[in-house]
A and B are shown apart, each in its own frame.
Chain A
């Protein structure tokens, strides 16, 4: 059968808007869902996505990707890699699946919002594929960990985490609800695909894929690469939206959407990816430090992309760059110290060799973060594990929902950025977190962070066991040290050898 060549029909179909006669444009595209911001529909019709694909091409490529990843999984399952992998790497996978898998389904809803409500036909076309992408990512990242439930209940948190009040789940939901589920189609295209996916999923997925290959985990590496190739395509929806906003006098609005999403994404990745790259991945398998990765993939690349679009670097760029030496070390120490509150087993990554590497990558680490780890190590080696476990809650930020952290030890610099708004005292972990709140207090002011919930009596009994129950953490699920403190014992051996 004769088929019309692709180039003769593609541009016409991908840019077609239909003419409606039974409803008005406002009824067809309600502003709160479409977010056209007063820009006429003719301007949205100029939306030109850089990556173009047809439905038959899409199906064929996706089928190949799925069969590749599922074949690797099936073949290697008999190899039982998970049974002999380093516990730090197992924790990486369990943390990743819990934080990401179900949010992929949420991303599918966000893509569907663009597919239905964007006034740009090209955006709707791309987002239709994006909806299918994210659905696939949800399925594959639930299916792969499911095979390991027989090994530990923690693997079940791939599905469970986002349905609980675990602090990490609250933080992830707060961010994803903000940028994906409670925004109009154009804001989603910018905040989800440009602010978040262009930079940060690149980092989570490319960095993790590299580390997975190094660690010999070819199942996880193939899964992650299969997801990343979709991200690289559908992440390109934000650029054309930004271009249209800027051309139509809305640069300030465009910049604000970009800045809020980049900051919030950074904070989430400082707790998720930072500890994984610098502490959980076994030393011999680390390809780059988290900071090196951030500089290459976020700082340099984003700056270039923003400049290409005619946007400025976010006002907090210098703060973010400085934070690359601070925030994720604090998030890691917090996760490790409050380990019963997470669904994975944090790897301390603080053995003598680890500390040497940390000092090399982050000069001054031993005088700052190392001071806290010194006390912890001594307690463990003196049989005082009890002093390495929490008896109260860390104070969490009212924007990112993560602990308020800063540099300890000799460089002590931990700061709160408070704000009193309509009689309520809010606490923020940075100037930029507070700035995000100030951009739209109506959006954020009712939200209760974990501390607010604790103080308002929602956590009963109001103590740490009550908090663990509130977070739905049962026996066999609460985190413990991934290596059973072997890293601390290594210091004892050093002392006796000397």
Chain B
């Protein structure tokens, strides 16, 4: 358990933001933490969609239950948080 800084690039938002996650967080928890600072603030909620996490400028989402420590990110890694159907 340790705090881990990431750079959140949230779909529909205009700016990247510094977000502190935990090394034991799952990808769903990472998406939640990022959403807290974008959705309902500058991005409209999309309750019918699922928020998925992927490395910036890539197309493959991480498995939803994968943990931060397993993802092998560098501190301040840039991540895209995307609204997806599943």
Q: How far is the CA of A334 from the CA of B16 in the complex (A)?
A: 10
Which of A7-15, A221-229, A257-265, A388-396 is the contact stretch? A388-396
Residue interface mask A321-357, B partner, CB < 8 A = 1: 0000000011001100100000000000000000000
B12 to A395, Cβ gap below 8 A? no
A415 to B42, Cβ gap below 8 A? no
| Option from B15, B36, B44, B76 in Cβ contact (under 8 Å) with A330 | B15
Please tell me if B19 contacts chain A, counting CB pairs below 8 Å: yes
Please tell me if B49 contacts chain A, counting CB pairs below 8 Å: no
List A354-383 residues whose CB lies under 8 Å from chain B.
Answer: 369, 371-372, 374-376, 379
Please tell me if A416 contacts chain B, counting CB pairs below 8 Å: yes
Please tell me if A404 contacts chain B, counting CB pairs below 8 Å: yes
Q: How far is the CA of A414 from the CA of B11 in the complex (A)?
A: 9
Please tell me if A455 contacts chain B, counting CB pairs below 8 Å: yes
Please tell me if B26 contacts chain A, counting CB pairs below 8 Å: no
Least CB distance, B26 to chain A, in whole angstroms: 20
Residue interface mask B1-17, A partner, CB < 8 A = 1: 00001011101111111
Please tell me if A425 contacts chain B, counting CB pairs below 8 Å: yes
Known: A374-B44, A408-B42, A451-B76. A394 touches B15 (CB 8 A): yes
List A398-414 residues whose CB lies under 8 Å from chain B.
Answer: 403-409, 412, 414
Q: How far is the CA of A425 from the CA of B75 in the complex (A)?
A: 8
B7 to A427, Cβ gap below 8 A? yes
Q: Give every chain B residue within 8 A of A390 (Cβ-Cβ).
A: 37
Least CB distance, B36 to chain A, in whole angstroms: 8
Q: How far is the CA of A390 from the CA of B42 in the complex (A)?
A: 11
Q: Give every chain B residue within 8 A of A454 (Cβ-Cβ).
A: 18
Known: A412-B12, A425-B75, A451-B76. A395 touches B17 (CB 8 A): yes
B41 to A388, Cβ gap below 8 A? yes
Please tell me if A35 contacts chain B, counting CB pairs below 8 Å: no
Specify the chain A residue showing the minimal Cβ separation from B40: A387
Q: Which of B40, B43, B56, B78 has the most CB of A within 10 A?
A: B78
B75 to A455, Cβ gap below 8 A? yes
B7 to A395, Cβ gap below 8 A? yes
B17 to A393, Cβ gap below 8 A? yes
Least CB distance, A466 to chain B, in whole angstroms: 14
B42 to A337, Cβ gap below 8 A? yes
Please tell me if A418 contacts chain B, counting CB pairs below 8 Å: yes
B57 to A414, Cβ gap below 8 A? no
Specify the chain A residue showing the minimal Cβ separation from B37: A392
Residue interface mask B71-86, A partner, CB < 8 A = 1: 0001111100000000
A371 to B12, Cβ gap below 8 A? yes
- Kindly count the residue-residue contacts between A and B in the assembled complex, taking CB atoms under 8 Å apart: 99
Q: Give every chain A residue within 8 A of B18 (Cβ-Cβ).
A: 392-395, 451, 454
B43 to A404, Cβ gap below 8 A? no
| Option from A391, A407, A414 in Cβ contact (under 8 Å) with B16 | A414
Q: Give every chain B residue within 8 A of A455 (Cβ-Cβ).
A: 5, 75-76
List A411-430 residues whose CB lies under 8 Å from chain B.
Answer: 412, 414-416, 418, 420, 425, 427
Least CB distance, A449 to chain B, in whole angstroms: 11
| Option from B43, B44, B56, B74 in Cβ contact (under 8 Å) with A416 | B56
A394 to B17, Cβ gap below 8 A? yes
Q: How far is the CA of A403 from the CA of B37 in the complex (A)?
A: 15
| Option from A330, A391, A412 in Cβ contact (under 8 Å) with B37 | A391
Least CB distance, A338 to chain B, in whole angstroms: 9
Q: Give every chain B residue within 8 A of A420 (Cβ-Cβ).
A: 74
A415 to B5, Cβ gap below 8 A? no
Residue interface mask A282-300, B partner, CB < 8 A = 1: 0000000000000000000
B78 to A416, Cβ gap below 8 A? yes
A376 to B75, Cβ gap below 8 A? no
Residue interface mask A26-53, B partner, CB < 8 A = 1: 0000000000000000000000000000
Q: Give every chain B residue within 8 A of A425 (Cβ-Cβ).
A: 74-77
B41 to A395, Cβ gap below 8 A? no
Q: Give every chain B residue within 8 A of A393 (Cβ-Cβ).
A: 17-18
Residue interface mask B22-53, A partner, CB < 8 A = 1: 00000000000000110011111000000000
Q: Give every chain A residue within 8 A of B74 (Cβ-Cβ).
A: 420, 425
Least CB distance, B14 to chain A, in whole angstroms: 4
Specify the chain B residue showing the minimal Cβ separation from A387: B41
B9 to A414, Cβ gap below 8 A? yes
Selected A-B contacts with CB under 8 Å, 14 pairs: A337-B42, A374-B44, A375-B40, A390-B37, A395-B7, A395-B15, A404-B15, A405-B15, A406-B14, A408-B42, A412-B11, A414-B14, A416-B7, A425-B76
Top 3 A-B pairs, shortest CB-CB distance = A408-B14, A395-B16, A372-B42
Residues of B whose CB lies within 8 Å of any CB of A are 5, 7-9, 11-19, 36-37, 40-44, 56-57, 74-78
Residues of A whose CB lies within 8 Å of any CB of B are 329-330, 333-334, 337, 369, 371-372, 374-376, 379, 387-388, 390-395, 403-409, 412, 414-416, 418, 420, 425, 427, 451, 454-455
